Amino acid sequence: MKSLTFLSFLVFLSFSNKVFAQVVTGLEQSYRSNIPFDQDVVSGGYFVDPPKEFEGHPYLITKNFELSEITINGLTYSDVPILYNIWKDQVLTFQPIHKQKILIRSDKINAFTLRLESPLSFVRLPNNPSYSHHGSGIYEYVGDGPSRVLIKHRKLTKPKREYSIYSEVFYETQDYFLQKNAEILKVSNKKQAIDFLGLENKEVRKLTKASNLDYRTDRKGYLHFLVSLYNQEQNEKK
């Protein structure tokens, strides 16, 4: 029943992009009469924006809702307005009646894809024991196969040094991981990544040079290349 309720809620949100601009009276009435809002399934409550004294925003890339795909309790829903708050590691959707941001309970989320200009896919991992910033367990993932790249996007704040109306400013950082079957490694350098995947260092050096890939300037692209090599090798062994 909860899944059906949540499905109805998301179908409504997918109905029209106009939800971002204004709430039409007819849709409000439809929402009130047909959509019993289930806090247990959908929401961890209303989202409270950061203090106005903080410069910037806490979201990944954009502060605008993007129509996206999300999988909750094994069911996938399309055209759902989504924001990813990487300051608190929270996924938000939009409540059309009160025009408020709603937290989707992270323990209900399996995965989601933000439909940005270049779509980004995310998965929620139940645990990552050696990592102190695991939070809700949401990681971007790149690669399809027995190994993949995991990226933990985070935003932190630091004090403003110069005189300003702002007391703090947001800044972004990332941590990179490789997942090989059930193993997860936090990547500190390229040699560590190559060794973890059991690749030949000389061959990797030749191929990455030919592809103009550099670990220092494009860590995501470099690691994606490594997992592609590993996955190809595993497929050839079958």
- 170: three-class secondary structure by DSSP: strand
Rounded Cα distance between 38 and 95, Å, is 12
pLDDT number for residue 23: 40
The vertex-174 CA angle with 68 and 111, nearest 5°, equals 30
User: For residue 30, how far is the Cα from the chain centroid?
Assistant: 31
Structure tokens at 123: 């998965």
Strand pairing class (90-95; 138-142): unpaired
Q: Per residue in 34-52, is it b (16+ CB within 10 Å) or e — as a string? A: ebebbeebbbbeebeebee
Please list the rounded mean pLDDT of every run of 10 residues in the chain (238 residues). Answer: 52 49 41 39 70 92 90 86 94 79 89 93 94 96 94 95 85 97 94 96 94 95 96 84
Contacts of 98 (CB under 8 A, 6+ apart): none
The Cβ-side half-sphere exposure at 74, using a 13 Å CA radius, reads 2
- 102: three-class secondary structure by DSSP: strand
pLDDT number for residue 199: 95
The vertex-187 CA angle with 60 and 71, nearest 5°, equals 45
pTM: 0.81
Q: Which of 109, 103, 110 is nearest to 87 (CA)?
A: 103
pLDDT number for residue 37: 36
